[in-house]
Copies of this chain bind each other. A is one copy, B any other.
Amino acid sequence: MAGLQVTHLTGIRELSLSDLQQILSTTDQFAEVLQRSVKQVPSLRHLTVLNLFYESSTRTRISFELAARRLSAQVVNFSVAGSSVSKGETLLDTARNLEAMQMDLVVVRHQASGAAHFLAQQLRASVINAGDGINEHPTQALLDAYTLRQFAGSLTGLKVALIGDIRHSRVARSNIFCLGKLGAQVAVCGPPSLIPQAIETLGVTVLPDVVEALRWCDVAYVLRIQRERQQAGYFPSLQEYAAWFGVHERALQQAGKKVPIMHPGPVNRDVELAAVLADSGHSLILQQVKNGVAVRMAVLFLLGQR
């Protein structure tokens, strides 16, 4: 195994196709480990992983924590509440101080786009972006790609529709980069106010109508709608958003088919996605969550090799 060309995972955009493929094939190995009775390997027992979370999170933090522990790494969790951050310390000071305690890998989630890049420039530890503002959430896109490959065999030519708030979604951005590199076709669909101008330059098609998007795609990837976007005037009400851009049974009926559904979670039930579809046999959502641990084990393992 050659190791990755990058020493940090700040985004999918910076990742070569071969690094991307190496992460996915390494994930296969760890997915196999997770099927064993004892789901732990000693690979990273010499390393310490810092989870540096400036935004609240359930599944991402726990997924990274489990991934690290199943590699036998030491894990230190740092969340904003009850920390020196309330004493006004800068991100860089916090990170440098924690790094001085000999952290090898720093997993960071932060509300500012670019936070992970910034730390990657400043720290000697390997930085893994667990979501930075509206920029990227690369391990989400990796677990999505892994789930899609598991479902469809190959991503080449696979049609994926990203539906919802494209403008503010780091998940959408990372998926657009990732799916593009892996040869999938990507369309985006949502209210015009939530589609960035010139998004086509990223190689995606804009489909303004949900039914049309569902008709076109092989897989529908539904994005979480942030309730605070309504206050900001991006759409008039959650009810109208659900009626016009939600993915529900009527839309599928109009499209004339059933499609597999993905979602990064947590789902606003019956807003962007009908509860009945989220729980149906066509939902890949829990498979995404399950694969998240294996993908993150692969990323931590590969970055821990240097």
The main secondary structure of chain A at its interface with chain B is mixed
A39 adjacent to B46 (CB under 8 Å): yes
This chain: copies in complex? 3
Stretch from A22-30, A56-64, A193-201, A250-258 contacting the other chain: A56-64
- A96 partner residues in chain B, CB cutoff 8 A: 286
A88-112 CB mask vs B (1 if < 8 Å, else 0) is 1110011011101110000000000
With beta carbons under 8 angstroms apart, the residue of B34, B69, B97 that contacts A266 is B97
A278: nearest chain-B partner, CB-CB: B93
A29-52 CB mask vs B (1 if < 8 Å, else 0) is 000001001111000011010000
A266 adjacent to B84 (CB under 8 Å): yes
- A202 partner residues in chain B, CB cutoff 8 A: none
A97 adjacent to B45 (CB under 8 Å): no
Question: A267 an interface residue at 8 Å Cβ cutoff?
Answer: yes
A38 to B48, CA, bound (A): 10
Question: A11 an interface residue at 8 Å Cβ cutoff?
Answer: no
- A94 partner residues in chain B, CB cutoff 8 A: 58, 266
- A53 partner residues in chain B, CB cutoff 8 A: 82
A38 adjacent to B45 (CB under 8 Å): yes
A67: nearest chain-B partner, CB-CB: B101
* Known A93-B267, A100-B286, A100-B289: A56·B79 in contact at CB below 8 Å: no
Measured CB to CB, the closest approach of chain B to A215, in angstroms, equals 28
Give the size of the chain A interface in residues (CB under 8 angstroms): 54
B59 adjacent to A48 (CB under 8 Å): no
With beta carbons under 8 angstroms apart, the residue of B46, B88, B293 that contacts A102 is B293
Question: A282 an interface residue at 8 Å Cβ cutoff?
Answer: no
A205 to B93, CA, bound (A): 32
Question: A268 an interface residue at 8 Å Cβ cutoff?
Answer: yes
Measured CB to CB, the closest approach of chain B to A79, in angstroms, equals 6
Which has the most chain B C-beta neighbours within 10 Å: A53, A59, A100?
A100
Q: A131-147: which residues lie under 8 A (CB-CB) from chain B?
A: none
Known: A39-B46, A58-B84. 15 other contacts (CB 8 A): A39-B48, A40-B74, A56-B82, A56-B84, A56-B86, A56-B87, A58-B89, A58-B98, A59-B101, A62-B101, A88-B268, A93-B266, A93-B269, A101-B289, A102-B290
Report A's interface with B, CB cutoff 8 A. 34, 37-40, 45-46, 48, 53, 56-59, 62-63, 65-66, 69-70, 74, 76, 78-90, 93-94, 96-98, 100-102, 227, 265-269, 286-287, 289-290, 292-293
The 8 closest A-B pairs by CB, nearest first: A89-B266, A100-B289, A58-B84, A100-B286, A56-B82, A38-B46, A84-B266, A58-B83
